[in-house]
Structure 1
Amino acid sequence: MLFDKSDMSLTHYSWRTGPKDSRFEGEPDGSEFVPEEGNEVLYVLNKALETLGASEKTKLHKGESLIKEALPSALRQQRDVHDWVVERLEEDAPLG
């Protein structure tokens, strides 16, 4: 993992699951994505940044903001959220 909980910029998350939860291993899949679950957001963002070869904390924070402010409600699976975040960060797309 590139980043951990202490690197996150937003504070609205719940941290009910542990970082070792099996949903956060391997590649993002068809598991339901819960945008309020901090460990899940962190997992998807780390995977997205890994895909992009990015290690800047500013990208992590931009990804957090994208998920909180602009994630389409139709995206409900980890893999779809991952792909969407990668695309948005790759394009350096503005929020909204």
Structure 2
Amino acid sequence: MTIEIGVIIATASVIIGFFTFNRNRDKDVKSDATESAIIRTKLDNIGQSVDSIRIDFKASDQRWTALSETVIRIDESTKQAHKRSDQIEKKGDV
């Protein structure tokens, strides 16, 4: 009788342990899936932010290029104006 009770208790313990293991495993899978979804969402947001920064950088680079070209043209124009004023001064000195 005592052995039968021990076998019944041992069997019940194994069954309870198995179901507990399965239940906890399912919770772990759900938890991992939730964490994975959160990480993917955050990575997508980071990727979109990087793309936005890249677009802003390209626009800024284009503005700097245009500004640089304008400065070069103004510098050339100033040099020509100085040459003309030097020529006018030379004519006036004569």
Q: TM-score, normalised by structure 2?
A: 0.21
Higher RCO by CA contacts (8 Å cutoff, separation 6 or greater): 1
Q: Looking at secondary structure, tell me which structure has more helix per residue.
A: 2
